[in-house]
Structure 1
Amino acid sequence: MSLTQTISLEFFPPREESARLKLEEAARRLVAHRPAYVSVTYGAGGSTRAGTADTVKFMQSLGCDTAPHLSCIGSSRAELVEILEGYRAQGIRRIVALRGDLPSGMGRHPGEVHYADELVSLIREHFGDVFHIEVAAYPEVHPQAGSASKDLDHFIGKVKAGANGAITQYFFNVDAYFDFVERVQGRGIDIPIVPGIMPITNYKQLARFSNMCGAEIPRWLEARLVDFGDDMASLREFGADFVAGMAQRLLDQGAPGLHFYTLNNAKATLAVWQRLNVA
């Protein structure tokens, strides 16, 4: 692992007290391993806005460089600027800028800012270079994209609007990641594109997430996971070995780092992290 490769972590805001305690325990355990930064998610239409703000403050209290996710769907320009002003005032200097998911019952394009490239442009317009901006990337193509080429065009648009780096949707096909990076570089873009890493702990949960976000589970891998049945300990051991092997290959072949989707689970993330040959 080169000096420029980094490991970062994603957490989500808890909705109840027991979940808050789980988050805080997981965060403390993981932060002890000194990630480059942590990010905190933002629910559909800002549905976890208050929880995101509280979780960001907690992560900052642990001494972490913290990057709130900010979704533009369902918000006015003024609301977005107000949120960003608050983050600037509390010392936040990194933002993960996303279109976000449509809340159920809302129109196709609610709010005044409809796409992530517009959000990135708004941030640059009002705040210049105050924030380091990460955006999303989809090596296996966004599930709502009309085609692979249109999806690539959307990504390039976010970069040209002012994104500094990108975090990918999780995937289990290393070739898809490097193909995407090569296509981006072929368009003259050379920002860091960090692979998103999802630990495997539960087949049914993983299948549900993957169906929603368009992440392919290779047929052979799915068959192996199904074979474990209710033997969760063996599934998790196999999953940690597989994901760590994939992550190590990504690093060895030049990925700029790894971004773990922790699901507020320290044990699963550390099972992969501690298998890696990293500083």
Structure 2
Amino acid sequence: MSYTHARQVESLNQSLSEIASDINVSFEFFPPNSAEMETTLWNSIERLAPLKPSFVSVTYGAGSGTRDRTHDVIKRIQKETALVAAPHLTCIDAGREELIQIAKDYWDSGVRHIVALRGDLPDSSEKPSMYASDLVELLKSVADFDISVAAYPEGHPEAPNPQFDLLNLKRKVDAGANRAISQFFFDVESYLRFRDRCVTVGIDVEIIPGILPVTNYNTLKRFAGLTNVHVPSWMPKMYEGLDDDETTRRLVGANIAMEQVKVLSREGVKDFHFYTLNRAELTYAICHTLGIRP
């Protein structure tokens, strides 16, 4: 290691230890669909809760069945922990009246934070009747919710160009969104460039980077293909030969995410959102490195 490189690493670790007190984290979970996954989820929530995240979000797919499961998880988090629970809500499988009713029910049951999304279209040729910006507006008309929306540093898969996508995010913020959470990414530069471009169009809310600690490279490739996320050429090499070695895959995944977080925190990022995939170990280890401890 050259002297300059050693100094850079030293300075990165030094600055990380100094800024730890300012850092906020949040976690995403998804509703379990089996008894085994349910146990994993609640063990993870129990493990991560002492880190005092700003909030924890719970996803849901299209369809009221999943939404009910999301609501059950949210209610249990509220009842059994001191965490701020934020359900995902999408507008493609519900009309305005139903969405207003859902929002009122959430507000009445003590939910104050919602992650507002358009949601995936069941048929990609169909044009949605509502967009996330409409949902943000609707939620704000019901009550003064704290609203997070999605941002896409590398562009939404359906956006015709990056500028179109950026202006769409601005519409969501102008409608009343309080922050944006980014799609996961591995090219830190793409996030930093995106953050700068947000400022140029007048987006003044926090763009929280979404961090995905990768334990399974093949699953990631599938995810990335669906979500328009660029996988750097060095990444497959990191996971080469580890198909049957989960322990090493986890260490590699944690290391990549930790490097990301270090560089981002050096660039002034104070908030991080972790896509936990309902598992606590890697997220817990990365938070520990960040100085987030019970």
- Asked if these proteins are the same fold (TM beyond 0.5), I'd say yes
**2:191 is aligned with 1:181:** no
Deviates more, 1:16-25 or 1:154-163: 16-25
- Partner of residue 51, structure 1: 69
**2:217 is aligned with 1:199:** no
2:29 aligned to 5, 11, 14, which one? 11
- Partner of residue 167, structure 1: 181
- Partner of residue 108, structure 1: 126
- Written as runs of structure 1 = structure 2, the 5 A alignment for 1:70-89 is 70-89=89-108
Sort the Cα spacing of 1:221 and 1:119 in 2 relative to 1 into closer, same or farther, 3 A. same
- Partner of residue 144, structure 1: 158
1:273 aligned to 273, 283, 287, which one? 287
Q: Amino acid of the residue matched to residue 100 of structure 2?
A: V
Name the count of aligned residue pairs.
274
2:42 aligned to 1, 12, 24, which one? 24
| Per-residue deviation, residues 193-216 of structure 1 (Å, max 9, x unmatched) | 100010111111111111111211
SS of residue matched to 2:154 = coil
Q: CA RMSD in A?
A: 1.7
Report the Cα distance in structure 1 between the residues aligned to 2:265 and 2:206, rounded to whole angstroms.
Answer: 13
**2:82 is aligned with 1:63:** yes
Q: Amino acid of the residue matched to residue 130 of structure 2?
A: H
Sort the Cα spacing of 1:106 and 1:222 in 2 relative to 1 into closer, same or farther, 3 A. closer
Shift in Å, 1:107: 6.5
Shift in Å, 1:245: 1.2
Structure of higher CA gyration radius: 2
Deviates more, 1:163-172 or 1:251-260: 251-260
Report the Cα distance in structure 2 between the residues aligned to 1:265 and 1:17, rounded to whole angstroms.
Answer: 15
Shift in Å, 1:118: 0.8
Report the Cα distance in structure 1 between the residues aligned to 2:233 and 2:61, rounded to whole angstroms.
Answer: 31
Report the Cα distance in structure 1 between the residues aligned to 2:22 and 2:60, rounded to whole angstroms.
Answer: 28
**Does the CA-based 8 Å contact 1:248-1:277 persist in structure 2?**
no
Q: Amino acid of the residue matched to residue 125 of structure 1?
A: S
2:136 aligned to 114, 120, 123, which one? 120
Report the Cα distance in structure 2 between the residues aligned to 1:4 and 1:192, rounded to whole angstroms.
Answer: 14
Sort the Cα spacing of 1:91 and 1:182 in 2 relative to 1 into closer, same or farther, 3 A. same
Report the Cα distance in structure 2 between the residues aligned to 1:30 and 1:245, rounded to whole angstroms.
Answer: 21
Sort the Cα spacing of 1:106 and 1:81 in 2 relative to 1 into closer, same or farther, 3 A. farther
More helix by share: 2
Deviates more, 1:205-214 or 1:267-276: 267-276
Q: Amino acid of the residue matched to residue 225 of structure 1?
A: Y
**Does the CA-based 8 Å contact 1:46-1:71 persist in structure 2?**
no
Shift in Å, 1:38: 0.4
Q: After the TM superposition, which segments of 4 or more aligned residues of structure 1 sit over 6 Å from their partners?
A: none
**Does the CA-based 8 Å contact 2:91-2:132 persist in structure 1?**
yes
SS of residue matched to 2:235 = helix
Identity %: 41
**Does the CA-based 8 Å contact 1:198-1:262 persist in structure 2?**
yes
TM-score norm. by structure 1 comes to: 0.93
**Does the CA-based 8 Å contact 2:170-2:202 persist in structure 1?**
no
Shift in Å, 1:47: 4.7
Q: Which runs of 5+ in 1 are unaligned?
A: none
SS of residue matched to 1:177 = helix
2:256 aligned to 232, 239, 242, which one? 242
Deviates more, 1:146-155 or 1:208-217: 208-217
| Per-residue deviation, residues 156-180 of structure 1 (Å, max 9, x unmatched) | 1111111110100000011111111
**Does the CA-based 8 Å contact 1:193-1:256 persist in structure 2?**
no
Shift in Å, 1:46: 4.5
